[in-house]
Structure formats: structure tokens, C-alpha cells
Amino acid sequence: MRTSSLPKEFHGRKLLRLKSYDYASAGAYFVTICAWKKKCIFGQVVDCEMGRNDVGDVALDEWLQTERLRPYVQLDVFAVVPNHFHAILLLKEEGTARRAPTIERFGKPTTGSIPTIVRAFKSSVTVRVNKARKTPSAPVWQRNYFERIIRDEEELNRIREYILYKPILWDQDLENPLAGTARKM
């Protein structure tokens, strides 16, 4: 017998979202999305600069589409690194026409919410990459992603710096499978 009201699919998964927070609220959000099994599929960092491959270019292009397709989204800094993606996005208030606050529930996406935006991004990248690779259902992304509500200007600037320095510090990054190993490029 299940003792939780959560759908069966959520058992054993750590839920990171704040209960009762409206993730479609105007504000700044930091997201990190990891590649499937944290494989370095987006390119490689050489001499502290990210060199995107075709898959990395698709991720970049689809992220830029986010702002074009959704007038309530403003992109801030972002970085495609070999095995994950970091971004700050701002949800703008659009007067009283924005919408009434609602909480996203499993299987019922909320238009304009962070989970829905991330889901659409991941899906569009996956479709394009699989079409190019001729692999109709191969995963590109990990199942979940990390999100953080940015609470003030100081935190926003700290996260911007973190993202911008990501390629420069890639050799020491915990997500880098080769971090700390001597290698020649």
C-alpha cells in the first residue's frame, strides 16, 4: 500500500521544488541540466574555451529559441559545457494578463512555468539530436534537472560569475569525468 499521494513514478526520487511555490512567478531562476549519464556529448573544453560540436550547437540554438517563442522569458547568461548546461532565465511580469498563480502537478504542465520551459527545451533538443543521429528514442538528457530561485542581486551576480567561469575552471569541475587527471590537448 502506498502511503504518499505522489504518483508512483515519483517514489524513490528526490523532489527539489519548494512546495506551494509558483514556478511561473516573475523572477530569476538558475537551471542546470545534465546530459544522459553525464556523458560529454556537447563538445569539449580546450584551452579554457568550450568548443561545441553539432549536439552542443543544437542545445545552444534551442535555448535561444526559448526567448523567441515565449515573450515572457528573458534569457540571461548561460553556458553549454561538455556534459551539462547552465542558464539563468528571467520570467517577466506581463501586466495583469500574465495569469493566475497555479501549482504544476504531475502530468499537468503549467504554461509558462520553469518545469514546462525546461521540459520543452529538453524535448526539442532530443528530437533534433535523435533525428540527426537517426536514433529515434535515444536519451540526450538526465531525467531531472536542478533549479534554484534566485532571491537577490548579489546571488544573481554570483551565479552569473559561476556560469561564465565554467569553461575556464572545467579542469577542476566535479562534473568533468577527467578532472584532475593529466592530459595533453
pLDDT in tens, 71-114: 999 999 999 999 999 999 999 976 434 454 455 555 566 788 99
> DSSP class of residue 92?
P
% of the chain with per-residue pLDDT over 90? 64
pLDDT in tens, 121-168: 999 999 999 999 998 889 999 999 999 999 999 999 999 999 999 999
More confident residue, 135 or 25: 135
Element holding 150 (H helix, E strand):
strand 146-150
Looking at domain 17-172, does it have CATH number 3.30.70.1290? yes
103/113 Cα distance (integer angstroms): 9
